Amino acid sequence: MKSFLLLFLFTNSLLPVFSQSNLLESAKNNPSEAKKICNKFRELNLKGKSASSNEAIEYVSKKSNLNPFNAEIFSIYVIGLYCPEII
């Protein structure tokens, strides 16, 4: 029973790592979608809003079907890969 519990806890602790890896792969494998997101971030920057604003995260969340936490991580990956000038 103890070994099952340890395995369960260990496996669950790895889930965020696997999901972050999948988010990075998704950003790398979908450059056209990432560029659309960059364009939205540029538009928001022109309005004085950052890519980490609630509006930006909500946009990415809906566009990519992600929860807000993962949408924020995905946004960081997209910015790093495709539009590092974004604030």
Contact 48, 10 (CB under 8 A): no
| Averaged pLDDT, groups of 10, the chain, 87 residues long | 42 49 89 96 97 97 94 95 95
**Which two three-digit tokens encode residue 56?**
């930006």
Distance CA 48, CA 73 (A): 21
d(C-alpha 1, C-alpha 84), whole Å: 49
pLDDT of 19 reads: 62
**Roughly how many angstroms between the first and final C-alpha of the chain, as a whole number?**
50
Read off the DSSP letter of residue 83.
-
Residue 23: the pLDDT is: 87
- DSSP state, residue 49: -
